[in-house]
Amino acid sequence: MSESSAISSTLEDYLEVILRLLAEKGSARVRDVARVLSVHKSTVTVALRRLAEKGLVNYRPYELVTLTAQGEELGREVYRRHRLIRRFLTEVLLVDEAQAEANACRIEHAIDAEVLDRLLKFTQFARRCPRAGVEFLRGFGYFCTHGDDSIAECERCMERGLQDLKDRPSSATDGPAPAGRTEEA
């Protein structure tokens, strides 16, 4: 592991914020980073110096902050993990946006690549599988709201699903159409 890849979760957050500011505004200033992270400008300055020492940012007082190639790569990876986790929390576990955002910020620093890959694959599977799909996720949401009292609804849902399967036009070459196909995770 290189020195720059062994950075704290706090410094990872700085890289992610700088990356987002550069993408959204075309520039990153100390005051903008401080505003996004809700910290003092002096705190940002200390963090930027540490990141510059590690070769992840280009920083000089009173100038715009930029990412080095290595800093951009690491920032993109942190942002990717954040998006995937937030998406899993909102689309699969049906957590509200604010709660998903806050939790994604914490989880993104601790999750293993293999576990993150499984979350992505499960999200894709849950939306594509004919036995799962969007209806399955809606059913999960219903269960979260109504708890064990929803078992009778599960039986009605299964009956509707079987009827839908019987009513679908099919051919010898096509299986049942996957339910709930949506964009990739």
Query: Which pLDDT value is given to residue 158?
Result: 73
Mean pLDDT on 19-34:
95
Query: Quick one: which of 50, 21, 53 has its CA closest to 34?
Result: 21
- Does the structure show a pLDDT above 80 at 135? no
Looking at domain 3-74, its CATH architecture is: Orthogonal Bundle (1.10)
Whole-model pTM? 0.70
Q: Cα–Cα distances in Å, from 171 out to 6, 42, 53, 168, 177?
A: 55, 67, 63, 10, 11
Q: Measure the CA–CA gap between 23 and 8, rounded to whole angstroms.
A: 23
Predicted confidence at residue 185, as pLDDT, reads: 43
Percent share of the chain, pLDDT over 70: 81
Hey, where are the domains in the chain? 3-74, 84-127, 128-185
> Residue 74 pLDDT more than 70?
yes
**Digit-coded pLDDT (tens) for 86-108:** 999 998 888 999 999 999 999 99
Residues 35-60, mean pLDDT to the nearest whole number: 96
Tell me what pLDDT residue 181 has. 38
Average pLDDT across the chain, whole number: 83
Q: CA 174, CA 108: separation in Å to the nearest integer?
A: 40
